[in-house]
Amino acid sequence: MKTAGIIGHPVAHSLSPVFQQAAFDYCGLDVRYERWDTPADVLATRVASLRWPESLGANVTIPHKEAVFLLLDELGGQSARVGAVNTIVNREGRLFGFNTDGPGFVAALKNEAVFDPAGRRVLLLGAGGAARGIAFALGEARAAEVAIWNRTPERAARLAGDVAATGATVRATGSTDPAGFDCIVNCTSVGMEGTGTEAASPCDFATAAPGALAVDIVYKPENTAFLAAAKAAGLPVLGGLPMLIYQGALAFELWTGVPAPVEVMFEAARRALDAQRR
């Protein structure tokens, strides 16, 4: 039996074990996916254990996406530019780091919202780890412009500069006004379950263009105040679950070389969310 798991602190809330195990089982792979709650003082030991022959690798979540950098042998994909790793792959004892957040987000846009960011203007609310991956991925997907807002303007400016250095058209903005944008993405924690901000939205859609897509990367609750406000304004919406699934599907494929059973992963995650609501 092979193993994989999720490294973070805490990880009890993570849906990854639910849908990743469902994918391994569906594909007939003898793999056990585990939760590895990992405080910072044992991170190096945990990562070192991924070199064992029975290990496929791991997903990495808060707060270790940056700290794992120095513990890996090579970085692949966008991880070096983004400055964060969310997937580790064991290849014959060498550890490779990847970031599937941004590509997973773009895959969710294209496959679930039928929205291609190429040539479109996107307003990104937030400049944290998830926003970094998404901003770089939107640049790679040839978005016409990405405007980044953050309550700390310096963080927005820093991220905009990092992404613009790749040749993408990116700028910082001091406004959350959605006017003129084709897509508005909430990458903040506003509206997330357990934050005390569940009734709040970081954006007012009164000036949004007809047909602009509102995307929230929060998946608990599935219908955030941000999405509810967009729906009330008559706009199409996309919740956070598709990004979670597609980034996980990319990790699955990096570990196994097998096409991910995306619908099976969606079904398992939705069942788990429904059970948590009861």
| 103 preceded by a cis bond (ω within 30 of 0) | no
Provide the β-strand partners of residue 183.
122, 213
CA 193/CA 189 separation, integer angstroms: 9
Burial class (CB in 10 A: 0-12, 13-18, 19+), 50: buried
Instruction: Copy the structure tokens of residue 277.
Output: 């609501």
Q: Is the dihedral of CA 259, 265, 267, 270 positive or negative?
A: negative
Verify whether residue 65 is a known catalytic residue: yes
Catalytic pick from 65, 110, 220, 231? Answer: 65
Kind plus residue range of the DSSP H or E element containing 121: strand 121-125
CA 53/CA 93 separation, integer angstroms: 7
Q: Are strands 183-186 and 170-172 parallel, antiparallel or unpaired?
A: unpaired
Provide the β-strand partners of residue 96.
74, 89
Long-range CB contacts for residues 235-239, cutoff 8 Å, separation at least 24: 235/205, 235/208, 235/210, 235/211, 236/113, 236/211, 237/213, 238/108, 238/109, 238/112, 238/113, 238/115, 238/213, 238/214
Q: How many CB atoms lie within 10 A of CB 97?
A: 25
User: Which letter does DSSP use for residue 258 in this model?
Assistant: S
Active-site residue numbers? 65
